[in-house]
Amino acid sequence: MTRIDDLVVIGAGPYGLSIAAHAADAGLGVRLLGRPMASWRDHMPDGMYLKSEPWSSNLSAPDGRHTLADYCATRGLAAEHGTPLPIDTFSAYGMWFARQAAPEVEEVTVTEVTPQGDGFRVRTAEGPPLLARTVALAVGVMPFVHHPEGLRELPPAHYSHSSGHRDLTRFAGREVAVLGAGQAALETAALLAEQGARPCLVARRSRLNWNTVPQPLDRPALRALRDPHNGLGTGWRSWVWSELPWAVRRLPASTRERIAATALGPAGAWWLRDRFERRVPVLLGHRLHRAVAVGERTRLGLSTRAGESVVLDVAHVIAATGFVPDLARLELLDAGLRAGLGTVGHSRAPELSPCFESSWPGLFFAGLLTAPSFGPSMRFVHGAGFTAGRLVRGVRKRLGARGPRPGSTGVARFDRAAYPGRPPGVPPGHPTTYLR
Ligand SMILES: Cc1cc2nc3c(=O)[nH]c(=O)nc-3n(C[C@H](O)[C@H](O)[C@H](O)COP(=O)(O)OP(=O)(O)OC[C@H]3O[C@@H](n4cnc5c(N)ncnc54)[C@H](O)[C@@H]3O)c2cc1C
């Protein structure tokens, strides 16, 4: 008889690992697919540090164990408030969590998820397809790399995205323009300078923002009340985003879209400022409008706010321009299914039920794509705990709602009452129901 799993989790980063740990604990038949901690092990340069505080960078196991502090204690390392933690330590923590708390990770690449019966068929690059009653897509940030207009046509020798580098030493002795004003841009530029390259930071903003040194955890009660600590920083606004993602989801779609676009804008970590300012020249208030390869060089056409044109001639451009959640780019998901999903307002992110289920029954999302539904904490490791608990509750509900599989004639239907956003647009030829 063909094996059908209760849940297939696609992606083994902080979210996928946490979801799988909760699902296994709930007694679900779960498979976890993906290269564990791939974004952290393969797509961040050596020498980077976590920006989040160690106590808000835990993966989530149902019993609250296997925290970053637990891992560090076993290795004689410190994970202290106000002390930046190397990303290598965080990657190693994720791998340890995978061994201790999650079901076995199958290191495969998923190429296709298609509806089958009232469940899904999941194809991988490596082996035969799997069947699943529910699927959780926790594919993280890499499918959503943002390439700025104007750079896309440059050959790879002239242009790359910041997520394309583990080793920046290959730029030693060369001029590199780094585009962006967020932590990735500032830290990439500082690391380039420290590793012998000659970087220049180019940003549209007229000034750079820097976070201040975090306040101590133990403070007088009045100060703590005025400016509470939370998983994303300090202050009441970020406290709501961090601690009440369920409440964020109840806001109107247009408000959530605005929060997703503007909350926690680009800013450098407090510990990076001195390293950056001592070594990296900046061109602020400059907008890129053109880039051409000229022999081995790259010529950038920039313009200032006053309308002046500036030409910057470098060996290479690195765009540290982040990631934009966009269902259209999730090519592994069946195109018809994708096009039919309900989305948040005008965004291309899925509208989700309180338990992270999309408008396609049994299809769940986690991580960056869920930020327009549940708010900015979904962009950070901190959101993994809330997500894992809720999502697994949703999977159990869905499996319960379908009843026992053998002989069932379950019908997958869009549950309109569960979605505050616009209903799914259904493309011609793609019905919203599939009979088995
Ligand atoms: C430079 C940088 C620094 C950051 N620093 C911080 C920080 O300090 N603190 C913080 O909280 N957050 C930070 N973040 C954000 C961080 O990426 C997220 O918090 C976290 O990684 C999200 O976890 P995730 O599981 O959703 O995604 P990811 O970590 O991206 O993991 C996704 C997983 O999915 C797998 N996958 C993707 N596609 C497929 C496929 N087709 N088949 C199989 N598997 C697949 C990948 O292999 C990967 O393991 C940073 C991000 C960047 C880029």
Report pLDDT digits (tens) over 173-211. Answer: 999 999 999 999 999 999 999 999 999 999 999 999 999
Q: Which helix (H) or strand (E) holds 234?
A: strand 233-234
Q: Does residue 121 surpass a pLDDT of 70?
A: yes
- State how far the Cα of 413 lies from the Cα of 87, in Å rounded to an integer: 42
Look up residue 76 and give its amino acid: G
206 contacts: CB under 8 Å, gap ≥ 6: 284, 285, 305
On the question of pLDDT at 310 being above 90, the answer is yes
Which residue's alpha carbon is nearest to atom 41 within ligand 1? 110
Q: How far is the CA of 142 from the centre of ligand 1 (A)?
A: 7
Question: With pLDDT > 70 as the criterion, what percentage of the chain qualifies?
Answer: 92
CB 216 within 8 A of CB 81: yes
State pLDDT tens for residues 258-301.
Answer: 998 888 889 999 999 999 999 999 999 999 999 999 999 999 99
Residues 6+ apart with CB under 8 A from 288: 148, 150, 151, 179, 202, 300, 301, 302
Mutate to test the pocket of ligand 1, among 95, 139, 271, 330 (most ligand atoms within 8 A of CB): 139
The preferred substitution site among 46, 165, 381 for testing ligand 1, maximizing ligand atoms within 8 Å of CB, is: 381
Between the CA of 185 and the centroid of ligand 1 the distance, in Å, is 17
| pTM for the whole structure | 0.92
pLDDT-based confidence at residue 403 (cuts at 50, 70, 90): low
Q: Is 197 helix (H, G, I), strand (E, B) or coil?
A: coil
CA of 141 to the centre of ligand 1 (A): 5
Q: Is the CB of 383 under 6 A from ligand 1?
A: no
Atom 38 in ligand 1: which residue has the minimum CA distance?
Answer: 139
Task: Give the residue whose CA is nearest to atom 50 of ligand 1.
Answer: 380
Q: Is 16 in the pocket of ligand 1 (CB under 6 A)?
A: yes
18 lines ligand 1 (CB under 6 A): no
Q: Rounded to the nearest whole angstrom, what is the distance from the C-alpha of residue 347 to the centroid of ligand 1?
A: 21
Query: What pLDDT, on a 0 to 100 scale, did the predictor assign at position 265?
Result: 85
The alpha carbon dihedral of 199, 203, 208, 214 has a sign of: negative
Residue 199: name the closest of 172, 224, 237 by CA.
172
Alpha-carbon distance of 114 to 434, in angstroms, equals: 11
Pick from 355, 397, 360: nearest CA to 373 = 355
Whether 10 is in the pocket of ligand 1, judged by its Cβ within 6 Å, is yes
Residue type at 133 in one-letter notation:
R
Please indicate whether residue 320, judged by its CB atom, sits closer than 6 Å to ligand 1: no
Query: Does the CB atom of residue 380 touch ligand 1 within 6 A?
Result: yes
Task: Say yes or no to pLDDT of 412 above 60.
Answer: no
Query: Quick check: CB of 191 below 6 Å from ligand 1?
Result: no
Map tokens 């207009």 to a residue: 149
Please tell me whether residue 40 adopts helix, strand or coil conformation.
helix
Determine whether the shortest distance from the Cβ of 332 to ligand 1 is under 6 A. Answer: yes
Residue with the smallest CA separation from ligand 1 atom 34 is: 11
Give DSSP secondary structure letters for 323-341: B---GGG-TTB-HHHHHHS
Q: How far is the CA of 59 from the centre of ligand 1 (A)?
A: 12
Tell me if 139 CB under 6 Å of ligand 1: yes
Q: Residue 149: what pLDDT? A: 86
Q: Is 110 in the pocket of ligand 1 (CB under 6 A)?
A: yes
pLDDT band at residue 2 under the 50/70/90 scheme: confident
The C-alpha atoms of residue 367 and residue 375 are separated, in whole angstroms, by: 10
Q: Is 38 in the pocket of ligand 1 (CB under 6 A)?
A: yes
**The pLDDT of residue 405:** 46
Going along 153-214, which residue ranges are E strands? 159-161, 175-179, 198-202
Confidence band (pLDDT; 50, 70, 90) for 60? very high
Residue 376 CB–ligand 1 contact under 6 Å: no
Asked if residue 54 has its Cβ within 6 Å of ligand 1, the reply is: no
62 close to ligand 1 (CB < 6 Angstrom): no
pLDDT surpasses 70 at 423:
no
- 161-179 exposure pattern, b = at least 16 Cβ within 10 A, e = fewer: bbbebeebeebeeebbbbb
CA angle 83, 37, 68 (to 5 degrees): 35
**Using CA atoms, how far apart are residues 121 and 113, in angstroms rounded to an integer?**
6
pLDDT band, residue 1 (cuts 50/70/90)? low
Q: Which of 37, 39, 52 to mutate to test the pocket of ligand 1 (most atoms within 8 A of CB)?
A: 39
Of all protein residues, whose CA lies closest to atom 30 belonging to ligand 1?
140
Q: Judge if the beta carbon of residue 410 lies within 6 A of ligand 1.
A: no
Contact indicator for 276, 186 with CB cutoff of 8 Å: yes
Q: How many whole angstroms separate alpha carbon 113 and alpha carbon 247?
A: 31
Range name among 225-234, 347-356, 371-380 with the lowest pLDDT average? 225-234
Task: Tell me which residue has its CA closest to atom 31 in ligand 1.
Answer: 13
- Which is nearest to 82 in space by CA: 246, 270, 237, 264? 270
